[in-house]
């Protein structure tokens, strides 16, 4: 997706934190933000899949973004959240350390980035948003979550 397509008009991002890094998701990609709920582990699930959660009578896989970003997972805290998004293969709940705010992004705040080195592992990047207190990594949930995460539903 080109930066022109990403920022035709000002956009709103849901800002969240995993470890010390701030990330953003387009608000249109976020279905719901949930406090931590019961997660049922599924034996043999692929890396990053914590298990399944019952979200309003819909069973969805829970994907750990600590695993994806290579960050140690701290104990779940009162700020820990699940962000329900539509990934490539269907709904997925993303485990994050905190959801912090909704930020309106102007075109001049956004910069598309070419990931260094092997780009296959960083294809989920839309770009970076500059803020007074640092950078926000703008991610695309359809490219962030591996395509076969939803296959855990068939295994359960």
pLDDT for the residue numbered 3:
45
Q: What is the largest CA-CA distance in the chain?
A: 46
SS3 85: strand
Cβ burial, residue 91 (10 Å; 0-12/13-18/19+): middle
CATH of 3-155, one of 3.30.70.1560, 2.40.50.180, 1.10.20.10, 1.20.1250.20: 2.40.50.180
**Which strand ranges, in their side-by-side order, compose the sheet holding 21-26?**
98-105, 11-18, 21-26, 134-139, 125-131, 110-111
pLDDT for the residue numbered 115:
59
CA 125 vs CA 77, 91, 108, 121, 143: distances in Å: 27, 19, 18, 10, 8
pLDDT digits (tens, 9 = 90+) for 38-64: 999 988 888 899 999 999 899 999 999
Domain parsing of the chain, residue ranges: 3-155
State both tokens at 130: 């500059």
pLDDT band of 13, cuts 50, 70, 90: very high
pLDDT band of 2, cuts 50, 70, 90: very low
Mean pLDDT, residues 5-21:
83
pLDDT digits (tens, 9 = 90+) for 62-116: 999 999 999 999 999 999 999 999 887 789 999 999 999 999 998 888 888 765 5
């Amino acid at each position: 997706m080109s930066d022109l397509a990403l920022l035709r008009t000002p956009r709103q991002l849901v800002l969240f934190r995993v470890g010390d890094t701030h990330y953003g998701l387009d608000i249109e990609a976020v279905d719901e933000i949930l406090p931590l709920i019961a997660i049922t582990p599924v034996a043999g699930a692929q890396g990053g899949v914590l298990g399944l959660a019952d979200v309003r009578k819909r069973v969805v896989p829970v994907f750990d973004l600590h695993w994806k970003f290579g960050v140690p997972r701290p104990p779940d805290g009162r700020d820990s959240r699940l962000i329900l998004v539509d990934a490539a293969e269907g709904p997925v709940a993303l485990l994050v350390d905190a959801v912090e705010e909704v930020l309106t992004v102007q075109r001049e705040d956004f910069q598309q980035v070419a990931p260094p080195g092997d780009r296959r592992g960083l294809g989920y990047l839309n770009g970076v948003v500059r803020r007074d207190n640092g950078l926000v990594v703008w991610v695309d949930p359809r490219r962030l979550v591996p395509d076969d995460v939803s296959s855990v539903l068939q295994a359960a």
